[in-house]
Amino acid sequence: MTTTYYVASSLDGFVSAPGDDLDWLMQFGFEPFQEHYDRFFAGVGAIVMGSTTYEWLLAHDDTWAYPDLPTWVFTSRELPVPDGAEVHFVSGSVGDHQATLERAAGERDVWVVGGGLLAAQYQQAGLLDELRVTVMPIALGAGTPLLPVAAPTPVFELVGTTPFAGGPVELHYRSAHSRS
């Protein structure tokens, strides 16, 4: 079991443009990535995300994207829950909730979805095992950083790359303190 931050990033290290805009990413479509994503997603047993990602998903999808997976949302606010979704709202340290997520995931992985702030908290707590970053061939100049850590991290080990048609490349890293 691993805890993986699986995300797309611009060449200059942003996961969204200012205002949490993802139009820059949507222009690439999903078809070139579908099979690769499906293989990753088949191994996911639980999802964790921040409230900005959760609210973006609610605003941009007519149905809940992860109906068969328990999802934890870090927030201090009360937010709506889509019909048929198993969503748990939590706050505090990521370490306070990791054992619960791992139990829910069973033999499968925990996916850190969306913005870099939560992933950075996982990294700083020593709970992030892998990063799977699909670098898109575009620079944004500003936006939400990929991994806004408060201090330098140990060196990540590159364990694989996957090129996609049109120029995107997934970089698959294992954390120096990986528990896997």
Q: pLDDT tens digits for 140-177?
A: 999 999 999 999 999 999 999 999 999 999 999 999 77
The partner residues of 157 in beta bridges, in order of sequence, read: 174
Checking if the pLDDT of 179 tops 60, the result is no
The H-or-E segment that residue 53 falls in is: helix 51-60
- State whether residue 15 is helix, strand or coil: strand
User: What does pTM read for this prediction?
Assistant: 0.94
pLDDT at 61: 84
How far is 31 from 13, CA to CA, in rounded Å?
23
Q: What are φ and ψ of residue 163, in 5° steps?
A: -80, 150
Q: Tens digits of per-residue pLDDT, 33-89? A: 999 999 999 999 999 999 999 999 999 888 898 989 999 999 999 899 998 899 999
**Radius of gyration for the alpha carbons in the chain, expressed in angstroms and rounded:** 16
pLDDT of residue 60: 87
**Would you state the pLDDT for residue 114?**
84
Task: Report d(CA 107, CA 43) in Å as an integer.
Answer: 9
What CA–CA distance (Å, rounded) separates 47 from 4?
10
DSSP state of 21: B
